[in-house]
Structures are given as C-alpha cells and as structure tokens.
Chain A
Amino acid sequence: AQSVTQLDSHVSVSEGTPVLLRCNYSSSYSPSLFWYVQHPNKGLQLLLKYTSAATLVKGINGFEAEFKKSETSFHLTKPSAHMSDAAEYFCVVSGLTNRDDKIIFGKGTRLHILP
C-alpha cells in the first residue's frame, strides 16, 4: 500500500540550531514529493518539491530536502532554526501509482522553536 509517514508528531529545537523533519514514503513508482508549511489558521505554503530532477532540493526560507530512493526518504532540513519557523509541516506525495493520481498527506510535524 502507498503511504507517507512523518516519523515525529512534534520536534523541538533551539533557535539557531539545525532542524530535521523526517518523512518516509512507500511507492511502487517514482513519486513527486513536496513539503508544505502551515502557520496557525492559514493555508499551506509550498516549501519545496522533488519531481525526478536533482535529488537535493532547495526551497524557500533556507529549507532543503534530499530524496533518497534507497531509503525511501525525503527529510526536510534547515541549518539554523528561526523563531518564525515554528509551524506545522506536511510531507506530501503524489503520483504514487501510474493508474491513479493520488495525493497523500503525512500527518504533520509540529515544529517548536525554543528561545
């Protein structure tokens, strides 16, 4: 079965330290992968996307993610956290099968930034 797993429901880091938000997927085909950020009572904003080009993808606000096919992972990282990064982050996978265009959301990871 196709799925997306965000391994941590909550992550807390101190301001200025690195951020790692983990995402694993299962798929029989080459998927498209996305990370979105959601601030309270707002819609989702696209951070970055992977669509079978370079495996290391750079996004907005200093975030990047690396697609590792062997590990079926697409973890989101940022070298130095900022207070404004506190939000909910969703890993999204689409096109997991070639007969059905499915968009699957992870359950989200709440990122807390400690002063």
Chain B
Amino acid sequence: GAVVSQHPSRVICKSGTSVKIECRSLDFQATTMFWYRQFPKKSLMLMATSNEGSKATYEQGVEKDKFLINHASLTLSTLTVTSAHPEDSSFYICSARVGGSGSPLHFGNGTRLTVT
C-alpha cells in the first residue's frame, strides 16, 4: 500500500517551454503533498508544501510564479515548471502523506528534467 506514482520519469524540453509533472497517490488519499528538488549527490531540498484545495506554501527562495503547484484533489498534485531554463535541470521528487508529523512520507520515483 501507500504507492505514489510520479510521471514522467524523464523529460527533455527546450528553454522557454513549460513542463508539467504529475504526482498521484494510487491507493490512499493524501492530505498533504510535498515537492522536492535534488541536486547531484545532495540531499532533498523542499520546494513547496501543497494541501488539497488550498494554495501551496513555498519555501524561501522558490519562485511561486515559476514553479506552479496545483493540488486539485486528494490524489493528484502537479508541478509545472514555467519558462524553463537550463538551470532548472534537476531531479524533482514528490511525496505524499496521510496525517500529521508522525506519519511517514511516501515518495514518487522522481522526474529527471533536462532543459536544453
């Protein structure tokens, strides 16, 4: 149980275009979803926290107009990288959680974004 599906696993796009990444909880309802960015050989950096039906909470230094997050249902959150630039190339990982701080995170398999 507690499977999180993230799609696509890899995407290559040209500078200036937008890319949408989907994160779905397959067998549970996720009240909270988190979006992370991971640089090579580094830990995860939290970008934003999204709660179903409300606006996402972005971490300091993350541009909310560039990284659009939508959490329209209890099983789906999307991250759209708008006007992508090569420096946006990275590994993006979503996670979902049911309940509060004592509950574990369930992670998607990540999306490797390459902007050319």
The residues of A with any CB-CB pair to B shorter than 8 Å are: 32, 34, 36, 41-46, 49, 51-52, 90, 92, 94-95, 101, 103, 105-108, 110
Q: Is the CB of A108 within 8 A of B101?
A: no
CB-nearest residue of chain A relative to B45? A105
CB-nearest residue of chain B relative to A49? B104
How far apart sit A46 and B42, CA to CA, in the bound complex (Å)?
Answer: 18
Q: Is the CB of A43 within 8 A of B110?
A: yes
**Size of B's binding interface in residues, CB under 8 A:** 23
Extra contacts besides A32-B102, A36-B107, A43-B95 (7): CB < 8 Å: A41-B91, A43-B6, A46-B106, A95-B100, A101-B101, A103-B34, A103-B105
Residues of chain A contacted by B34 (CB below 8 angstroms): 103
Which of A41, A44, A95 gathers the greatest number of chain B CB atoms within 10 Å? A44
Q: Name A45's contact: one of B6, B43, B46, B107 (CB within 8 Å).
A: B107
How far apart sit A90 and B105, CA to CA, in the bound complex (Å)?
Answer: 12
Please name 13 pairs of A and B residues whose Cβ atoms are closer than 8 Å in the assembled complex, sorted by A: A32-B101, A42-B109, A44-B44, A44-B105, A46-B105, A46-B106, A92-B105, A94-B102, A95-B101, A95-B102, A103-B34, A103-B46, A107-B42
7 closest pairs, A vs B, by CB?
Answer: A95-B101, A43-B107, A44-B107, A43-B109, A94-B101, A32-B102, A101-B101
User: Distance in Å from the Cβ of A7 to the closest Cβ of chain B?
Assistant: 14
How far apart sit A110 and B108, CA to CA, in the bound complex (Å)?
Answer: 20
Q: Is the CB of B108 within 8 A of A43?
A: yes
- Mark B45-70 against chain A: 1 for CB-CB distance below 8 A, else 0: 01000000000000000000000000
Which of A36, A43, A51, A94 gathers the greatest number of chain B CB atoms within 10 Å? A43
User: Distance in Å from the Cβ of B58 to the closest Cβ of chain A?
Assistant: 15
Q: Is the CB of A106 within 8 A of B43?
A: yes
How far apart sit A53 and B49, CA to CA, in the bound complex (Å)?
Answer: 28
Q: Name B104's contact: one of A41, A46, A105, A107 (CB within 8 Å).
A: A46
How far apart sit A105 and B42, CA to CA, in the bound complex (Å)?
Answer: 11
Interface residues of B in 80-115 (CB under 8 A from A): 91, 93, 95, 100-110, 112
